[in-house]
Amino acid sequence: MEKKAAIVGGGVIGGGWAARFALMGWQVRVFDPDPDAPRKVNQVLENARASLPAVIDAPLPPEGEVIFSGTMSEAVAGARWIQESVPERLELKQTLYQRLQSHCGEDAIIGSSTSGFKPSDLQAISHRADQIIVAHPFVPVYLLPAVEIVGSAANPPETLDRAEEILRGIGMFPLRLAKEIDAHIADRLLEAVWREALWLVKDGIATTEDIDNAIRMGFGLRWAQMGLFETYRLGGGEAGMRHFLHQFGPALQWPWTKLTDVPDLDDELIDTIASQSDAQSGAHEISELERIRDGNLVAILKALKGQGWGAGQVLKEQDARLRGEDA
Amino acid sequence: MEKKAAIVGGGVIGGGWAARFALMGWQVRVFDPDPDAPRKVNQVLENARASLPAVIDAPLPPEGEVIFSGTMSEAVAGARWIQESVPERLELKQTLYQRLQSHCGEDAIIGSSTSGFKPSDLQAISHRADQIIVAHPFVPVYLLPAVEIVGSAANPPETLDRAEEILRGIGMFPLRLAKEIDAHIADRLLEAVWREALWLVKDGIATTEDIDNAIRMGFGLRWAQMGLFETYRLGGGEAGMRHFLHQFGPALQWPWTKLTDVPDLDDELIDTIASQSDAQSGAHEISELERIRDGNLVAILKALKGQGWGAGQVLKEQDARLRGEDA
């Protein structure tokens, strides 16, 4: 089957999808009525071309063409994968699927980049709910392998299997959820951290820079290679996970009450965060920070590839696939 | 002043402190009544010798001797830095300081590895509260640079300055909190993630392995180099942090109610987690996982050093200090 993808919504996330598909040899059509979308997508494409090839050792396929379509019907016609990355408004997404489903094939997969909605929400008003799934990636989409795959009862398991296969083919690591849930896995964890971080700033305990340093000089380094549970398993030492849990358990009952409240993100807190963030990162333009981030991620991914571990193992499997050593 | 450190409590954390001080040329005395402590500490020392030198390019000082003391008074006598890493029981820590303060110098710094208690709690029954501070590190202590420094009103700022200077001298990155708070910065964030992860496992949404993969294939890679806020600043694109906050804000009001409850860590949930963790990581012995983790961290730290960013920048500064290029 022809490798044709349609990208609906051309921001940082849609652009990242376009870049990943194109660099892995897919023809890509992008639809976004924003006249500024081509510039934004081309910027992401340039970032991807400057970074993704550096972590791949096998010969890359010829880059697929990226075409900006004037209409959504033109973009989705004949596409095998359609990725929707429009703003997080449920009605917008639902009506968009209705429109695009009158132009796309019945066996195309429609993946949504939604970070919050469940597939059954997205499918609610569709007559072909079976082809709509959640495929939630992480920025930068062209470098980070994780993608959360979520279906509802309306999706045949074969559709989700096929989705996984296609995404593995473009170098991603599909994480299939056993059940649908608001915000999937990662954004539930991120939301929890975010709330707590807001309290720390609001209460004047730490600045945005302090919090970022606490992460990237400490547990963030651990989490690039082992996650929460495997790390804690090590924390239990020779006595293992059960011992760790018995030790840790009582701490969950401590009155760290801020964890259970939602801070009010009012103008004052927004001002505080925005100005602390300027003090922390304002010396670099956003485009420069993106290049720094991508350079760091490439270096970390190559390091993990040398170790044959975690995201590095995913890259090795991608090499094997590109060399035709693996189905 | 002589570089003498005393380590009270010789588990994974105390052992990590002993290793960092010794490898940076300090004489170390360890006190722990557990007859198994020397074996545990020597194991950590071996892991540290096999990893820390690989991320340092400057000549290392001759390794300091690590001596196991039979009494606490012997261990702390003449020490410039005393690090307490005993179990998280407040009364135990408080009475321990009373005992050791009758044998240590008045200008020694007593750092506690506590992940939860505030310095004012630790100081409550002491007649020399001014020398007791929180110095909370991250496992593996010999590789991760972050250390949270927290004082109370009883600590003169000069004591905290001196603590920072000593810790920088052994290659750490001190993070000084503006105010004391239960669980400091990092463990508040970790606790929030932990609670949410427990719900995901309990509700059958994801296994421990899924959650770890969602972290290490996605945002964990980002957090090894930029933290939460700098990453989100990029998420706002050219419009910046303020734009991001206005977009993100409403999501905080969504009814992700699990975030605000504490799951009951009962036997059933402990069984589930322990057996999922066995399925995920059981193929490796703990000591093997430690070597894998350290190998990965060394590779990541070297990668970041090549980029001159984050933890890599801390290592470059440590090189300069070891070469005498920096005070």
Mean pLDDT computed over every residue of chain B: 92
Q: Which of residues 54-83 of B touch A (CB under 8 A)?
A: none
Where are the CATH 3.40.50.720 domain residues in chain B?
Answer: 4-176
Mean pLDDT computed over every residue of chain A: 92
Comparing CB atoms, the residue among B196, B223, B236 nearest residue A216 is B223
pLDDT per residue over A13-27, tens digit each? 999 999 999 999 999
Residue ranges in chain A modelled with pLDDT below 50: 255, 257, 327
Closest Cα of chain B to A117: distance in Å? 11
Location of structure tokens 């250390």: B147
Chain A CB contacts of B304 under 8 Å are: 296, 299-300
Chain A interface mutation, best of B233, B265, B291, highest count of A Cβ atoms under 10 Å: B233
Chain A interface mutation, best of B225, B254, B265, highest count of A Cβ atoms under 10 Å: B225
Query: Could you say which architecture CATH assigns to the domain A186-283?
Result: Orthogonal Bundle (1.10)
Comparing CB atoms, the residue among B191, B220, B287 nearest residue A220 is B220
Mean pLDDT of B97-119: 96
Cβ atoms of residues A82 and A110 within 8 Å: yes
Cβ atoms of residues B293 and B12 within 8 Å: no
- pLDDT of the residue at A309: 96
Supply the DSSP symbol for B129: G
- pLDDT of the residue at A246: 77
Comparing CB atoms, the residue among B196, B224, B255 nearest residue A192 is B196
Encode B143-168 in three state secondary structure: CCCEEEEECCCCCCHHHHHHHHHHHH
Phi, psi of A324, rounded to the nearest 5 degrees: 75, 20
ipTM value for the complex: 0.94
Q: Has residue B163 got a pLDDT over 90? A: yes
A102 touching chain B per CB within 8 A = no
Comparing CB atoms, the residue among B234, B263, B295 nearest residue A307 is B295
Query: Could you say which architecture CATH assigns to the domain B4-176?
Result: 3-Layer(aba) Sandwich (3.40)
Of B264 and A223, the structure prediction assigns the larger pLDDT to A223
Predicted TM-score (pTM) above 0.80: yes
Across chain A, which distance is largest between two alpha carbons, in Å? 62
- pLDDT of the residue at A236: 73
> Per the structure block, which two tokens stand in for B99?
């005992």
Where are the CATH 1.10.1040.10 domain residues in chain A?
Answer: 186-283
